[in-house]
Structure 1
Amino acid sequence: MSVGRPTRLFKIAGAAGAVAALLSGCMSTGAGSDGRYAAPIGNAPVTANPTPYSAALVCMADYARRYSLPSPRMAVGRIADYTGTVSADGGRQVTGGASLMAMTALAKAGARQVERYDTSVSEMELRYANNRLIGDEGAGGAEDIQYRRIIAGSVPGSDFYIVGGITEVNYNIRSGGFDVAGGQTTETPLSVAVAGKLFVMNIAIDLRLVQTTTLEVVDVVSYQKQIIGREVSAGVFDFLDGNVFDISAGEGALEPVQLAVRSLIERATVEFMANLYGAPGPEVCLQAGRDPLAGTVSITGGYYPAYPNTDTNNGQTRADPSRWNDSRDGDLRRSRY
C-alpha cells in the first residue's frame, strides 16, 4: 500500500502537468506577426437591437407618413438613473444611457429631433465662428475662404422634450428554489446533488413630455417591467479506489436588465408619439381597423393632451401590458413595417 499510493499520486500529478502544458501551449509570451499574443474568441456578428415595441415605433412612423402628419421638433434631456444601485464589482447596475435610448426610439417613430443633450461641439464652433476662426469655401473654391457668419435664428428650436429617470429597482420581488441531495453509506459513498433557483426583480421609469415654450408638462408615463433569472446545477461526488471525484455542472440566465430599460423607453416613446400624432392606439397598425385592447383605463400616470384630440387620443388604453407588443398583440404582428 505504501508503494501504490505514491504511484497513484505521481500519475495524478503527471496528468495535471500534462493538462497545464496543453493549456499553456494556447498562449505565448511573445507577440505574433499580427501583433497579438492571442486571438480573441467568439465570432457573433453585429445585429440589430430591437425590443418588442420597436415594430410599433416603426409602424407609428409609417402612420405619420401615410397621413402626412407633421412631427413636432423633439429633444431629449437627462433621463438619469435615480436608483443609486451599484453592482458587486463597483460599477453601475443600471445603464446611464437611457437618454440615448430615447433618441433612438424617437428616430424609429419618425420624429424630427434637435440636439440638446450634448451641444459641446456646436458651442465650441459657435465660439470659434464668433472669433472668425472658422472658414468656409466661397464661390471661388479653395482660394476663396470666408469666415463663417453667425446668422440669427439659424438654429431651430424644439417644440417638446422628454425628461425623467429610472426610479425603481426591486431585486427580490419573489424567489424560490430547491436543493436535493442523496448518497450511499458504504465505504465508497456516492453522492448526487441537484439544485435550482428562480427569482424575479423589476425596474421602473417615470418620464415627462414637456412643451418647450411654456414648460407645461403635457404628458406623463410611468411603466415597470419585471425581469426573471434562473440557476440550475447538478453534481456528483464519489470516492473510487481511494481517489476523490467531484463533478458538477450548471446553467444560469438573467433577462438583460439594460434591454428591459430600452423596452421601457420604447414603450413610453410610442405612447408619447401616438399622442402627438393624434393616433388613437394600436389600431392604426391593424389591417382590419379594430383595436381589441380598447377600453382599458390608464393607471400609468397623469395624462394631458398635447393637442385637442381628446376624443381620439391614446390616453385611456395605454395601461394594457400587451398593447404595442409585437409578440403579445396578434393584430400588431400583421401590421406593415
Structure 2
Amino acid sequence: MVSNRLGRTAALVSAAAMALAGCASPSAGPNGNYARPAGNAPVTANPTPYSAALVCEATYARANHISAPRIAVGRIADYTGKYESDGSGRKITQGASLMAMSAFAKAGVPLVERYDTSVSELELKYANNKLISDHPNPAPNMPAEYRRILAGQVPGSDFYVAGGITELNFNIRSSGFDLAGGDPDATDFKGTATGRLFVMNVGLDLRLVNTRTLEVVDVISYQKQIVGHEVGLGMFDFLNGNVFDLSAGEGALEPIQLAVRSLVERAIVEMTANLYGMPGPQACLKTDPLETSTVGLTGAYVPAYNNVDTNNAHTREDPSRWNARRDPAVRGRY
C-alpha cells in the first residue's frame, strides 16, 4: 500500500514538473525566449460613452467651416492624495492631461504642445548654436546649412486647460448577504452563498483659461459613480468516503481609470461645444457621417502630406489591422 502511494506521488510530481517545463524553461528556446507570453488580444480603440460626441463635434465644425481656437493642455493633477496601502502607487491615474489631449483631438480642436516641451527646447538650443541642419551635408567634411530661428515661428495658444481630479470616495454605499445551510450531521451536504455590491465615485474639476488675459472663461465640475460586485457559491459534502469541497465565484469592478477618462471626455465635450457655438447633441443629426475625416475614436492626426485619399485613416479603429495574427496582409509577409 505504501509503495502504491509513493508511486502515485512520484507520478504526480513528474506530471507537475513536465507541465511547468512546458510553460517555462531555464534555457532559452530557438526564438530566444524562455517562455511565450500569455494572451493574444489585439489592440483596440479605447472609447468612452462620450467619444462619439467628440467625433461628432469635429464633423460639425468641419461641415460649418468653424475655425477652432488653438488649445494647450496644462497640468491636470491628482489631488485626491490616495495611495495603495501596499505601497504600489497611486490609486488614480496621473495621465489625465494626456486624456484631455486625446479628447480635444477627437473633437478636431487644434492643439499646441505645452505639457512636454523638452525636445523642442533642446532643439531650439542647438539651433541657436547653429548645430542643427534640416538638410544632409552636401559633401564629406563640408558644413551643412544650419536651421535658422525665425521670429514668430511657434504658434501660440488661445486657451489652455488646467484642473485636477479632486475626489475619490470609497464605499459610498454597499450591501451584501451571506447564506449558509445544510444538514446538522457533519458528514452531510452543506452549502454557502455570498454576494456583495458596493459603490464609489471619482470627481473632476476643469477650467478653460484665456492665455492672453488669464481670464477663466469656462469651469466644469463632474463626478462619476463606479460600481463593483462579487458573488460566490460553495458546497461541502462527503460522498462514499470522499470529501468534496467546491467553490466558485465571480466579481467585477468598473475600471476607475476609464471612469476618469469618461469624466475628462464629458468635460471636453462641453467645453468644445462652447468653443464651436454648438447648440447640443441635436446638431449631430445634421452632419454627414460618411464625410472624409482625420479624427476618430482613437484621436486625430494631421496628414504627413496630401495623402488623405490613400492613407490609413479609415483603419485606425479596426482591431485586426496591422496585427500579425489577425491581418492576413501582414501575416503573409513573414
Which residue is equivalent to 1:47? 44
Counterpart amino acid of residue 104 in structure 1: S
Q: Distance in 2 between matches of 1:196 and 1:15?
A: 40
Distance in structure 2 (CA, Å) of the matches to 1:154 and 1:21: 65
Task: Give the counterpart letter for 2:19 in structure 1.
Answer: L
Question: What is the CA–CA distance in structure 2 between the aligned matches of 1:154 and 1:169, rounded to whole Å?
Answer: 42
2:125 corresponding residue in structure 1:
127
Provide the aligned length of Structure 1 versus Structure 2. 284
- Counterparts of 1:78-117 in structure 2 under 5 Å? 78-89=75-86, 90-117=88-115
C-alpha distance in 2, partners of 1:185/1:164? 61
- Cα distance in 2, alignment partners of residues 9 and 191 from structure 1: 30
CA offset digits 1:251-294 (Å, max 9, x no partner): 11111111111111111001001101111211211359xxxxxx
Q: Is 1:64–2:55 an aligned residue pair?
A: no
User: Residue 204 of structure 2: SS of its match in structure 1?
Assistant: strand
1:73·1:157 contact (CA, 8 Å) conserved in 2? yes
Matches within 5 A, 1:1-337: 13=9, 16-17=12-13, 20-26=16-22, 27-89=24-86, 90-137=88-135, 145-240=144-239, 243-287=242-286
56-65 vs 231-240, greater mean Cα deviation: 231-240
Shift of 1:241: 5.2
Give the Cα–Cα distance (whole angstroms) in 1 for the partners of residues 19 and 172 of structure 2. 43
Aligned to 1:321: none
- In 1, distance between residues paired with 2:137 and 2:20? 65
SS in 2 for 1:285: helix
Q: Is the 8 A contact 1:137 1:144 kept in 2?
A: no
**RMSD of aligned alpha carbons:** 2.4
Distance 1:241 1:7 in 2: 24
2-structure distance, mates of 1:46, 1:195: 36
CA 1:185 to 1:271, structure 2 compared with 1: closer, same or farther past 3 Å?
same
Q: Distance in 1 between matches of 2:137 and 2:64?
A: 41
- Structure 1: unaligned runs, 5 residues or longer: 289-337
What is the one-letter code of the residue matched to 1:134? I
The one-letter code sitting in structure 2 at the alignment partner of 1:62 is: T
- Deviation (angstroms), 1:9: 6.4
Q: Which runs of 5+ in 2 are unaligned?
A: 288-334
Q: What is residue 323 of structure 1 aligned with on the other side?
A: none
Residue 298 of structure 2 is matched in structure 1 by none
CA deviations over 1:109-137 (Å, ceiling 9, x no partner): 11011000000000001111111111232
Contact 1:159 1:211 survives alignment (8 Å): yes
Amino acid of the residue matched to residue 150 of structure 1? I
Measure the CA separation in 1 of the matches of 2:6 and 2:136: 84
- Residue 137 of structure 1: SS of its match in structure 2? coil
> Taking CA–CA contacts closer than 8 Å with sequence separation of 6 or more, which of the two structures ends up with the larger relative contact order?
2
Amino acid of the structure 2 residue aligned with 1:278? G
TM-score (norm 1): 0.78
Q: Aligned to 2:62, what secondary structure does the other structure show?
A: helix
Q: Equivalents in 2 of 1:201, 1:126: separation in Å?
A: 47
Name the SS of the counterpart of 1:49 in structure 2.
coil
CA distance in 2, matches of 1:12, 1:183: 34
Q: CA deviation at 1:184?
A: 2.0
One-letter identity of the residue aligned with 1:145: A
Residue 189 of structure 1 deviates from its aligned partner by 2.9
Query: How far apart, CA to CA, are the structure 2 residues paired with 1:12 and 1:197?
Result: 41
Q: Which amino acid aligns with 1:29?
A: P
Q: Which residue identity lines up with residue 21 of structure 2 in the other structure? A: G
